């Protein structure tokens, strides 16, 4: 038997990700229902995190957004990790350190190519 708290956490994630995808694409409940073939009342329960997960209902709902159910339920929510300013700065510093002894990277590459 699955822990009831875990089940609710999954329902909360589904609700959040449905809301996010609807908002990003400007799709309202009626549009999602029409496009997915899932009844508005069913979608409303998912959006309220009140409905038990049924793959045959969620698969077409997330399919409207061009994502698979597995992508929708993945730990990162099919979200691309954003590169923050500090990470970018560290990468830039590492690159500068790696290339510090090469005065002209283009010339160096051309020489390697035999040009």
Each residue of 18-76: pLDDT tens digit? Answer: 999 999 999 999 999 999 999 999 999 999 999 998 999 999 999 999 988 888 888 76
Nearest to 53 by CA among 20, 16, 8, 23: 8
Contact residues for 48 (Cβ-Cβ < 8 A; gap 6+): 15
At residue 86, the pLDDT reads: 76
The residue to which tokens 């040009």 are assigned: 115
Q: How far apart are CA 78 and CA 65, in angstroms?
A: 12
Would the pLDDT of 111 be above 90? no
- CA atoms of 26 and 43, how far apart (whole Å): 16
* Distance of alpha carbon 109 from alpha carbon 83, whole angstroms: 28
């Amino acid at each position: 038997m699955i822990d009831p708290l875990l089940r609710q956490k999954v329902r909360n994630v589904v609700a959040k990700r449905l809301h996010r995808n609807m908002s990003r694409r400007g799709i309202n409940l009626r549009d999602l229902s029409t496009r997915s073939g899932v009844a508005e009342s069913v979608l409303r329960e998912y959006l309220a995190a009140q409905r038990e997960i049924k793959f045959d209902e969620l698969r077409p709902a997330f399919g409207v957004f061009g994502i698979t159910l597995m992508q929708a339920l993945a730990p990162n929510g099919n979200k691309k990790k954003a590169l923050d300013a500090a990470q970018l700065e560290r990468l830039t510093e590492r690159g500068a350190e790696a290339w510090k002894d090469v005065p002209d990277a283009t010339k160096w590459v051309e020489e390697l190519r035999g040009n």
